[in-house]
Amino acid sequence: MGLPDMARPAEPSSESRLTYTDGSSRTVYATDVEKPFPEGRLIVSRTDLNGIITHANDAFVEMSGWAREELIGAPHHILRHPDMPKIAFKGLWDDIAAGKKWHGYVKNLRKDGAFYWVYATAVPNIRNGVIVGYTSVRRKPSRTRINELVPVYAQWLAEEKAAS
């Protein structure tokens, strides 16, 4: 079952229709409001093998704007921002499904349409040699690196749109 469409924010926003890898789609609204990464905190979540959220720490709940009860059981793409190219997440999934650590910069969408950048590390959780789920820990990102990546992600996104 897919996520419901987002509520339109009070601030000016751009509307996009996102289609996810699982075939579901929803309308999202993105504003220009940035929520800064909280100093000295880590944003942590765990998922099952399908990317369904099974754990979210307090910083995750606060930064995403969703209630914990809304997050647990939801697909992690609940945070996907329309400015993020699909190729960024392909790298994530290719690495963690192969048992490797992944790290990268992600622009996340809040429930209220605002955004927040993170520097994320994702790892597979391995029990008795078998991958049973995934964990991601996000740190405060480098502003210099964000500024370098914004045009790169925009270029990848434009190429994906042109190809679709």
Ligand X SMILES: Cc1cc2nc3c(=O)[nH]c(=O)nc-3n(C[C@H](O)[C@H](O)[C@H](O)COP(=O)(O)O)c2cc1C
**Which residues in this chain contact ligand X in the complex, by CB under 6 A?**
20-22, 45, 47, 51, 76-77, 79-80, 89, 92, 106, 108, 122, 134-136
Looking at beta carbons only, is 57 or 135 nearer to ligand X?
A: 135
Looking at beta carbons only, is 20 or 156 nearer to ligand X?
A: 20
Q: What is the largest CA-CA distance in the chain?
A: 50
Minimum CB separation of residue 97 from ligand X in Å reads 9
Looking at beta carbons only, is 92 or 114 nearer to ligand X?
A: 92
Minimum CB separation of residue 30 from ligand X in Å reads 13
Looking at beta carbons only, is 30 or 92 nearer to ligand X?
A: 92
The DSSP line for 109-161 is: E-TTS-EEEEEEEEEEEEETTEEEEEEEEEEPPPHHHHHHHHHHHHHHHHHHH
Minimum CB separation of residue 34 from ligand X in Å reads 16
How many Cβ atoms from other residues are within 10 Å of residue 58's Cβ?
11
Structure tokens at 163: 């190809």
For residues 13 and 27, is the Cβ–Cβ distance under 8 A?
no
Minimum CB separation of residue 22 from ligand X in Å reads 6
